[in-house]
Amino acid sequence: MKFKAFLTDNGVTLLEKRFFPALDKMGRICHLYLTKDYAIFLHNLLNGDGVQSIAQFRKEALFDDYRISSQNEDRIAFTVDLALLQRALRSSISISSTTTTTTVTDRLQIKLVKKLPPNSQQPMPFLSFESKSAVVQEWAKPLSRADLLELQTALDMAQDLPQTLVRVPDLGQLQSFVDRLKHVGDLLNISVAQYGDLHLQVSTTLISLGQEFRKLQVVGVQAEEPPSYRDMSAQSRTEMAVQRGEAMSVFFIPGTRHNDNSISLHCRLPVLDPGSG
């Protein structure tokens, strides 16, 4: 098992400024999955708990001199802490800023090294982040062959997009509304229809409060709404669409990671490919 690569200045900026702040909101702990062509950051693919996030980068978008080999079809994965990874990037930036010129040896190098863990007689691989020969962060114990296969299987399944995708409205507006609903009840019902409708509702024994977003952009399978649809209440429209098999309704508990396992909540970050496109 071998891995070595230099993180480019563009790669450092891309991760530290744009992606890590967003990924950290999904959770501090994630999997860093390295293959021959990609570096992938994965959230919640194995435990199925909470929002699944897949951030996939072509190696050229982040690295120079990228070399990898392993008996697992040249694939290596580690469980990493994003906060510590951000700290490693910032340490590298701080070290580089002390010099007027940046050479290859000044840049952050990521590589596998074998070391003796504390209270152990058996060397094991560590994923080491080094800048100017100073170790700024290390992670021990890559995923086993079985765990790596499970991660790859989960990744393959997660990349099968649903037949219908509805583009949600402004996330700030949506977040603000969901935050207000938390004070009404604990259980949020979410319904998505192939007509481009998104319906959010909290119901208690005393009150029902909800909001409907209509005519949203639909990607994939969509359906024409029935003529009587527009004259019905939002709740009746949702119930009819579910009965017709043209909508799905699930529950979610705001502020937690508890949700109906019949649906996956996906946050798909763009694939960055600086190739011929």
Over the stretch 18-46, which tens digit does the pLDDT of each residue have?
A: 888 888 888 888 999 999 999 999 988 88
User: Which fold would CATH assign to domain 2-160?
Assistant: Proliferating Cell Nuclear Antigen (3.70.10)
Looking at residue 26, its pLDDT comes to 82
pTM above 0.75, yes or no: no
Mention every residue, 6+ apart, whose C-beta is less than 8 A from residue 213: 168, 169, 197, 198, 199
Looking at residue 220, its pLDDT comes to 81
Looking at residue 200, its pLDDT comes to 87
3-state DSSP assignment of residue 138 = strand
Residue 74 has pLDDT above 80, yes or no: yes
Alpha helices by DSSP H, listed for 42-100, are 59-62, 82-96
In the chain, what are the domain boundaries? 2-160, 164-267
Residue 59 has pLDDT above 60, yes or no: yes
Mention every residue, 6+ apart, whose C-beta is less than 8 A from residue 123: 114, 115, 116
Looking at residue 103, its pLDDT comes to 52
- Please state which of the ranges 62-71, 107-116, 264-273 shows the lowest mean pLDDT: 264-273
Which of the pair, 131 or 260, is modelled with greater confidence? Answer: 131
What's the CA gap between 136 and 92, in Å, rounded? 8
Rounded mean pLDDT of 85-93?
A: 82
